[in-house]
Structure 1
């Protein structure tokens, strides 16, 4: 069984990636080129990431559900600080075909994804 990874993004950025064949945004307002990797999350980490990046803003967001076995760039789990929680980081573009599902983000700040 595959443990899927997640990435929270805006629909327009995902639409552009589908046209280009790869997703190259690291996090809100920063590209892969600027950051050096794409920030990903495990399911239990996504609510905190959403709160940190978007707070209570009412922005339409989607969740990319990623099959890590389809990734072509290195994937590393790294902590932001010594001894901190580790997050998955993708050191290259996210291939569109690694995204196995796209879900609407419920926007409740409590971790809900609309099915």
Structure 2
């Protein structure tokens, strides 16, 4: 990953408020998966459309990889993703201090999310 590039994590505004309060974000599926799902800005629309189509309460947490306290592994997504595409998975919780920007992530009129570019 190029130096200075951010990773993103998608969650609801309420989940981010809880993470700010607690100082850490531990998603509900963390115990089962063993990692936190992350994306790059140009691939975040794929899981957004698969999991959250039409939702209007989402935010993207832009993360500084240098501030993450656990290992990030680049691993395949789901079978419907492009075959060569790998997603970043964080093998630990997200420290709130690693979040450099929080931005709303709204779908288009058709309920679908677009890549960030």
TM-score (norm 2): 0.83
Q: Is 1:59 aligned to residue 51 of structure 2?
A: no
Unaligned runs of 5+ in 1: none
Quote the offset at 1:47 in angstroms.
1.2
The structure showing larger relative contact order (alpha-carbon pairs under 8 Å, at least 6 residues apart) is 2
How many aligned residue pairs are there? 108
RMSD: 1.9
Contact residue 75 and residue 89 of structure 2 kept, 8 A: yes
Quote the offset at 1:89 in angstroms.
0.1
Q: What SS does structure 1 have at the residue aligned with 2:87?
A: strand
Query: Hey, what does 1:85 align to over in structure 2?
Result: 85
Quote the offset at 1:85 in angstroms.
1.3
Distance 1:81 1:58, change over 3 A: closer
Unaligned runs of 5+ in 2: none
List aligned pairs for 1:1-115, cutoff 5 A: 1-25=3-27, 30-55=28-53, 57-80=54-77, 83-108=83-108, 109-111=112-114
Quote the offset at 1:84 in angstroms.
3.9
- Greater Cα offset, 30-39 or 12-21: 30-39
**Structure 2 Cα separation of the partners of residues 80 and 104 of structure 1:** 23
